[in-house]
Amino acid sequence: MNLQVRQEGDFQYIDEGEGEVLLLLHGLFGALSNWHGVVDHFSKQYRVVIPLMPIYEMALHKAGVPGLVSFIEDFVKFKQLDNMTLLGNSLGGHVGLVYTLDNPKKVKRLVLTGSSGLFEDSMGGSFPKRGNYDYVKERVAYTFYDPETATKELIDEVFNITNSNAKCLRIVAIAKSAQRHNMAKDVTNIKVPTLLIWGLNDTITPPVVAHEFNRLIENSELHFIDKCGHAPMMEHPDKFNSILDKYLTKTAQTTTAT
């Protein structure tokens, strides 16, 4: 499936399929294409919506987790979405956590994969050096268990982002905001059914982070995928989709946003 990016007002997004809404949130260096396997699989039964978060364009004073949550709130209102399953990877999971706490009536289920919010080792402990392609290639490969998952297209995309001083300033501001915003005391207030899908070999948000989310979020269940890094939906799309599919079916009758 070729993903068609739509433009309405200030928003760019993907909107495929019909039915119950799956709202997907990408990470700091993520892109709409990260969710290709999820869209392919789930758009047959669900309405899959992916907003492109303005990570590289937003006003610098708003560049942080609260600014991104505000953006998602505006997008959900604009598209009149409700009763959603919210699925976030990395920074997108962090935004999803805050959104769920602030808008509990909008969220039916929460799905986190490699989410920040408790601890994360951003880009392997450092930010990409501008103009150094080999360094960027190494750091992107660090995201995955199998370095071959880091395609040239993906590496080129991150390299181009890091070559822009304006984009780098926003990346650093957002990453620092996420690292300062520890949610250990807040996530205990999440009551919606929560699914955690984690790479067993995630080096950015290691398995201990998944266990801690599982401990803190009362109504949660945790699944690990072996030989998998920080983006399970990219590295093992079939296993990821299978876990998510079973969970959505299992919780279909027991979850209703109130």
> Would you state the pLDDT for residue 122?
57
What does each of the 258 residues of the chain score in pLDDT, given as a tens digit? Answer: 678 899 998 899 999 999 999 999 998 887 777 899 999 999 999 999 999 999 988 988 899 999 999 999 999 999 999 999 999 999 999 999 999 999 999 999 999 999 999 987 654 444 555 668 888 888 888 899 999 998 898 889 888 888 888 888 888 888 888 888 899 999 999 999 999 999 999 999 999 999 999 999 999 999 999 999 999 999 999 999 999 999 999 998 765 444
- Do the domain assignments include residue 256? no
**Gap between the Cα atoms of 191 and 186, Å rounded:** 11
- Do the domain assignments include residue 58? yes
The residue assigned the tokens 């067993």 is: 200
- Do the domain assignments include residue 258? no
- Do the domain assignments include residue 91? yes
Q: Say how many Å lie between the first and final Cα of the chain, rounded.
A: 34
Query: What number of other Cβ atoms are within 10 A of residue 155's Cβ?
Result: 18
- Do the domain assignments include residue 83? yes
| Strand-strand pairing, 47-51 and 11-16 | antiparallel
Stated pTM of the model? 0.92
- Do the domain assignments include residue 257? no
Provide the number of structural domains found in the chain. 1
DSSP states of 144-169: SSSGGGS-HHHHHHHHHHHT-HHHHH
Here the tokens at position 5 are 């990016």
Here the tokens at position 109 are 């289920």
Length of the chain: 258
CATH number at residue 143: 3.40.50.1820
Residue 224, strand partner residues: 198
Q: Are 171 and 55 in contact (CB under 8 A)?
A: yes
Q: How far is CA 227 from CA 31, 145, 199, 231, 239, in A?
A: 22, 6, 7, 11, 12
> Would you state the pLDDT for residue 93?
96
**Gap between the Cα atoms of 198 and 153, Å rounded:** 24
> Which residue range(s) make up the domain with 20?
6-250
Q: What share of the chain is helix, strand, coil (3-state, %, to 5)?
A: 45, 15, 40
∠ Cα 80 85 39 (to 5°): 90
Closest CA to 90 of 71, 61, 68: 68
> Would you state the pLDDT for residue 71?
97
- Do the domain assignments include residue 1? no
